[in-house]
Amino acid sequence: MSLIPQEFIQQLLDRVDLVEIVGKSVQLKKAGTNYKGLCPFHDERTASFTVSPSKQFYHCFGCGAHGSAIGFVMARAGTSFPEAVRELAREAGLEVPEQAVDPASERRSAEQRDHRQRLREVLEQAARYYRDRLRGDQRAIAYLKGRGIDGHSAKRFGLGYAPDDWQALAQAFPNYQADVLVESGLVVARDEHGDNLEPARASGARVSRRYDRLRDRITFPIRNLQGELIGFGGRVLDRGEPKYLNSPETPLFHKGEELYGLFEARQAVQRRGQALVVEGYLDVIALAQHGIGNAVATLGTACTADQVRRLFRHCPQVVFAFDGDAAGRKAASRAMQAALPALDDTRSVKFLFLPPEHDPDSFVRAHGADAFEREVARSRPLSVFLLDSVADGLALDTAEGRAQASVRARDLLRLLPASALKQQIAGELAQRLRAEPQSLLADAPAQRGRALPAAAARGAAPPSRHLQRPRADHPATAVRILLAHPELWNDISPAQRDLLVAAPGAAGELARWLESYREEHPDANASHRWESLRAGGWLEAAQALRAGELVEQDAAALQPDLRGALASIEMDWIKLRQQELAGLGLADQASRLEYQNLSLRLRELMRGLPRL
């Protein structure tokens, strides 16, 4: 096989003009330093697609599509990467050189593709087994009938039954000891200490016990947008905890990104221009059975910003349906915070609160589809729910109550991107709180605190690499910003860089990639950077962090978020270091002094973090 040299790709990107390439299929109009037009990748009436001539980068604020000239040709024409490069090279009058592919690299890529395919095949085999067991189990059939689920719906959604047996899947898989059963999430494996092995650590590990993850449960296949089976949900038939149990995180399944039923609902969502988010899998199926086919469900956790953005790629409106009790309102508050960063003037979010005795499943069965649709039509707009949330439990007729509400309002408004909607909500909040809108929109100044070098100057030990295990979201936030604006790399201290590049998982690997890339290409634009990510095999990881969404944002406006993320990483490191010191018994004066200095630094960071 052959490979197109990265040097030529960068040369090609320097030669072509993204505005000209996009302009062949999109009517662009000048908008300040950029160009705007209707997105060619999803239906929209208000232009949210921008092209930056200086960065040679496109981004749609509606569906999230972004990339370089090569990425645009690939997405628009459905071509492969080499085909897109050759097409652009012909237009630019360049001849594409090719070089031999490293056999080892090609072999690793092929092995990864084969492994993912094997995981899908194993899941499909399990799904067939579960469906067969459902047909022969009268108790499971009676349960579904009691919930109002007919045979057509069970078949459409691929429902099955996992028998009440610790190793029932041994009937479907002759080699029950195969690592792939654990890696797919179907089987739980425990090591010699009795601890559960994560699917990613199962290969080659010593296992003392194996058993089926789903037992005596109705099984719900979870499919991605392409219809590929990526995991399962399971619901108990009788009483038991947890009521729902999902597949663990695997190379195929990431529950914070996927939505149950989106594959089946995608056409109805697009046709109606609205997605209805419910909490249970049976809610989705019951609504679909009653002709309401635009419902999806979160996967056993609170709704995430990734899930909201995914829905907005298919429709301009999302309606969250919750019970009307305290738990439902708490879930609605979390959903609102997840939705705020994804909103703009072309998107809307509403909240439906059913009577406390009902969920969508029971309501539609008791009152019918028309009654449920009327409830949806009466859903509360996000702006109304936000205003009520800010005032909840506070006495707004007192100065103290209004001050507390103002703090809440600033925290929520900070999550909203700049838009007319943000200004409108700020204005209404200001009237209710007897405040000026700008006082609610103003961010508190970021604390310019000292980082690890200051702690070290007071006697704390420098960060040791084996202790770098910060929470995954803090490094991800920092790396997301730095990928979009690598010039901010110069604003962080060497100690912070050490902590960041030592972070676990994709965030740390991307930080190490960026550190090396900046040394070689200090002045490269976003287009070059994105294609270098692709060449290094990091583009998918960068896209998972949604780094492209921040390219067009002002770097200075993102600095407080970057400082906050870095401060949080440092706090995580301090706590881990203190645990290590305490575990050693603080036996000498040096250890006690280091522990004390770390405590002082931690308090300093905690005081500054809210402002960050």
User: Residue 24: which CATH number?
Assistant: 3.90.580.10
Q: Are residues 353 and 229 part of one domain?
A: no
d(CA 221, CA 229): 7
pTM (2 d.p.): 0.61
Give pLDDT, residue 491. 79
Helix (H) or strand (E) holding 398: none
* 579 φ/ψ angles, rounded to the nearest 5 degrees: -60, -40
Give pLDDT, residue 100. 65
DSSP-derived 3-state class of residue 315: coil
pLDDT tens column, 300-322: 778 888 889 888 878 889 999 98
Q: Are residues 520 and 466 part of one domain?
A: yes
Give the residue numbers spanning the domain of 156: 115-246
Q: Domain holding 188: CATH number?
A: 3.90.980.10
**Residue 254 maps to a domain:** no
Alpha carbon 112 to chain centroid, angstroms = 22
Partners of residue 52 on adjacent β-strands = 57
Measured CA distances, 38 to 34, 42, 133, 378 (Å): 14, 9, 50, 31
Q: Are residues 18 and 124 part of one domain?
A: no
Give pLDDT, residue 49. 93
Measured CA distances, 20 to 54, 89, 239 (Å): 13, 14, 62
Q: Are residues 472 and 590 part of one domain?
A: yes
Give pLDDT, residue 20. 92
**Residue 303 maps to a domain:** yes
Q: Are residues 297 and 163 part of one domain?
A: no
Cis geometry, peptide bond prior to residue 504 (ω within 30 degrees of 0): no
Residue 38, burial from CB neighbour count under 10 angstroms (0-12, 13-18, 19+): middle
pLDDT tens column, 574-590: 888 888 778 777 877 87
Q: Are residues 304 and 209 part of one domain?
A: no
Q: Are residues 489 and 361 part of one domain?
A: no
How many domains are there within the chain?
A: 5
Q: Domain ends where: 357, 378, 399?
A: 378
Partners of residue 260 on adjacent β-strands = 297
**Residue 104 maps to a domain:** no
Give pLDDT, residue 149. 95
By 3-state DSSP, what share of the chain in percent is helix, strand and coil, each rounded to 5?
A: 55, 10, 35
Q: Domain holding 412: CATH number?
A: 1.20.50
SS (H, E, C) 245-303: EECCCCCCCCCCCCCECHHHHHHHHHHHCEEEEECCHHHHHHHHHCCCCCEEECCCCCC
**Residue 533 maps to a domain:** yes
**Residue 141 maps to a domain:** yes
User: Which residues, in sequence order, are CB contacts of 310 under 8 Å at separation 6+?
Assistant: 257, 259, 262
Give pLDDT, residue 1. 44
Query: Are the CB atoms for 569 and 473 separated by under 8 Å?
Result: no
Q: Degrees (nearest 5) of the Cα angle 395, 400, 402?
A: 65
d(CA 403, CA 300): 35
Q: Domain holding 597: CATH number?
A: 1.10.860
Q: Are residues 350 and 274 part of one domain?
A: yes
Give pLDDT, residue 544. 78
Q: Are residues 218 and 275 part of one domain?
A: no
**305-312 vs 326-339: helix crossing angle, rounded to 10:** 70
Q: Domain ends where: 221, 246, 271?
A: 246
**Residue 416 maps to a domain:** yes
Partners of residue 187 on adjacent β-strands = 212
Q: Which two tokens stand for residue 29?
A: 């109009």
Q: Which two tokens stand for residue 445?
A: 């100044």
Residue 465 DSSP symbol: G
**Residue 240 maps to a domain:** yes
**Residue 255 maps to a domain:** no
Q: Are residues 312 and 185 part of one domain?
A: no
Q: Are residues 160 and 83 part of one domain?
A: no
Cβ–Cβ contacts within 10 Å for residue 610, how many?
11
Q: Are residues 532 and 427 part of one domain?
A: no
Q: Domain holding 344: CATH number?
A: 3.40.1360.10
Q: Which residues of the chain have pLDDT under 50?
A: 1, 444-470, 610-612
